[in-house]
Structure 1
Amino acid sequence: MAFIKWFYRVVFLSVTLSAILAGYLYHTITAPVEITSKEEFEVKAGDTAYSLGNELSEKGLIANPYLTRVVAKLHSEWVPKVGKYAIKPEMNLLDIMALFDSGQSIFYSITLLEGKTTRDFLLAMQARGNITMTLLDASNEEIVKKVGLDVSHPEGQFFANTYRYHEGDTDVSILKHAHELMTQTLNDLWEKKTENLPYKSPYEALIMASIIEKETGVPYERPLISQVFISRLEKGMRLQTDPTVIYGLGDLFKGNLTRKGLQDSSPYNTYRIYGLPPTPIANVGREAIEAALNPEQTKALYFVAKGDGTHAFSNTLQEHNQAVRKYQFKRREDYRSTPVIAK
């Protein structure tokens, strides 16, 4: 009889202690972490429930490093994915471990601006410091191959936009996304273009869009400049646009377009060649493509910078020469090529 009483007491004590331990564990893994603001936590390659417990404990996010092992036992199907994660004050350890399993790591963003070259895009990515760079020293041919482009030159193939990425993503993956968006946008707008334009393909329209993008940052001017260039093409006139010459000069351009530069034999020198240059000269956004495909009717064949970021348009060479004398020979003190953006 005494043995039976002792046995029941041991069982009762064991059950009680187990219940207390279970209650403690439940409380500790479901209690919000003791932080007042969002914190970043990195799951590295090779991390396990044990190592994550140690790191979370060292950061003061959990009281005991063994708690992550408890969660791992409860959810053996959860596998932590490499990445940086945002841990928020309202989260508990179950939430944190589920987050690591989800792979929903922190997104970063980068804005690739209109009018910038592919080289500029790569330098912007490098400046972020958390993108894996593989193309900085690559030739145009190598970029075409690695990104999987169906053209011979990468310029103009990447849509200017804001892109989200995870830390460690490659420049190739971001450019692939930008190219997919460019292809989709260009094809969609090509279907809605004005009739009887002088382009043989969407690629030629993209070349024109890049020139328009470099010529003006004023939205209402883009369709006008588009029509000026289209009219010149239709009349067999040279485009005579400085940005193409500057692009062709590359590193030889030092900030001022000289007479020698205008005599350069580059295929981008539209003061010497007829028609469009062989490739786009920059990457563009939707507005420049829309302008190239939907010009605004005007009789103007010329335009010149006024020094305030806008342009004076002229129908005849005589009018244009007068505008050049007015705006270029006597430049205003605050002369600028881009408009002031109101804040």
Structure 2
Amino acid sequence: MRRLVFTVFLLAALLVLAAGGWGVWWIQHPLRLATPTVDLSIEPGTLPRAVAQAVADAGVDVDPQLLYAWFRLSGQGRAIKAGSYELEAGLTPQRLLSKLARGEESLRAVTLVEGWNFRQLRAALQKEESLKPSTKALADDAVMALLGRPGVHPEGRFFPDTYTYAKGSTDVAVLRRAMRAMDKRLAAAWAQRAPQTAAKTPDEALILASIIEKETGKPGDRPMISAVFNNRLRAGMPLQTDPTVIYGMGAAFDGNLRKKDLLADTPWNTYTRAGLPPTPISMPGKASLLAAVQPAPTQALYFVARGDGTSQFSSSLDEHNRAVNKYQRGQ
């Protein structure tokens, strides 16, 4: 009898050891995927059992009950975080749980370029296949209302930068982050404004910065370009800057700016109207924001492109005309 009991005990012990050994092997063995990569989305509040089922439903060849048992035995089942994940070949149950518990979401990135207008920004977001196009069918004013800024013109209100986002995020989320980033950058620049800036409000500084962004060929010229515009504003002279005319033309601009375009009045034509245009014309970066409120100490009122990306600055019209003849007409 004792021999029988011992034999049964020994067999049970061997079975436990075998099961344990198989379990260790299983959690470290790669799972089979239906495709080279599998997208997994876990909504907030999803319980571990439902997560295991979602993994199987997404295209991972695994028994949901077995995976759920692993979640429980590990003690990390409750640590699984909601999000969008990309599962790749070679993933083991052990690595899968670690990935979900750490919240290692599949991230994408979109870059908003300095000098872009809102139309270009929206087009870039719509090209991001991993972003849900929540605003695609909305007009610009509806987008701003959705962002909590009803009645605010969208131009220039978003900071140009590279933004990462989880696969499956909405374009609204990226826009909101970019909008808040511009709020912070503009406030920081305004707090550092110099006494000689002609901008009376942060919004005016933003408009001026957007023009500087479009007029800059060489980064180091920004403070001088800003000085020209600030000097003109204080003197009551029209800004006479081509990018504002082009912006006012919208889709009618064909790449060539003609004299008749400079004379065609729009709210943004700074040849026909004095002062700043009613809205920004582009997304200015940090350097342009700072240049707008920290113009260089100069009396320059004019500048002309040298043809090499830099500009020639002049304090008088005669001096400017000579520079135009030299750099634009080759005289």
Note whether the superposition's TM-score is higher than 0.5: yes
Q: CA deviation at 1:171?
A: 1.3
Deviations 1:163-217 (A, max 9, x none): 1111121111111111111111111121111014222211100100000000013
* 2:67 alignment partner in structure 1: 68
**Normalising by structure 1, what TM-score?**
0.84
Q: CA deviation at 1:34?
A: 8.7
Contact 1:80 1:97 in 2 (8 A): no
Q: Which consecutive residues of structure 2, in runs of 5 or more, have no partner in the other structure?
A: 44-49
Q: Residues 305 and 48 of structure 1: is their aligned pair in 2 closer, same or farther, counting only changes over 3 Å? A: same
Q: Residues 82 and 191 of structure 1: is their aligned pair in 2 closer, same or farther, counting only changes over 3 Å? A: closer
Name the SS of the counterpart of 1:267 in structure 2.
Answer: coil
Q: Which consecutive residues of structure 1, in runs of 5 or more, have no partner in the other structure?
A: 332-343
Q: Residues 312 and 135 of structure 1: is their aligned pair in 2 closer, same or farther, counting only changes over 3 Å? A: same
Q: How many residues align structurally?
A: 320
Q: Which of 17, 23, 26 in structure 2 is aligned with 1:28?
A: 26
Q: CA deviation at 1:87?
A: 5.2
Q: CA deviation at 1:152?
A: 1.8
CA distance in 2, matches of 1:139, 1:301: 39
CA distance in 2, matches of 1:248, 1:88: 52
CA distance in 2, matches of 1:288, 1:181: 15
Identity over aligned pairs, percent: 36
Contact 1:304 1:312 in 2 (8 A): yes
* 2:39 alignment partner in structure 1: 42
Q: Which moved more, 1:223-232 or 1:146-155?
A: 146-155
Contact 2:159 2:285 in 1 (8 A): yes
Q: Which amino acid aligns with 1:202?
A: P
* 1:165 alignment partner in structure 2: 165
Q: Which amino acid aligns with 1:213?
A: E
Name the SS of the counterpart of 1:183 in structure 2.
Answer: helix
* 2:206 alignment partner in structure 1: 206
Q: Residues 87 and 197 of structure 1: is their aligned pair in 2 closer, same or farther, counting only changes over 3 Å? A: same
Q: Residues 223 and 92 of structure 1: is their aligned pair in 2 closer, same or farther, counting only changes over 3 Å? A: same
Q: CA deviation at 1:120?
A: 0.8
**Normalising by structure 2, what TM-score?**
0.87
Contact 2:197 2:295 in 1 (8 A): no
Query: Where do 1:1-343 residues align within 5 Å?
Result: 2=1, 5-29=3-27, 31=28, 33=30, 40-44=37-41, 48-50=51-53, 52-53=55-56, 58=61, 67-74=66-73, 75=75, 76-77=77-78, 79=80, 81-85=82-86, 92-149=92-149, 152-330=152-330
Deviations 1:277-308 (A, max 9, x none): 00100001100001001111122111112222
Q: Residues 19 and 112 of structure 1: is their aligned pair in 2 closer, same or farther, counting only changes over 3 Å? A: same
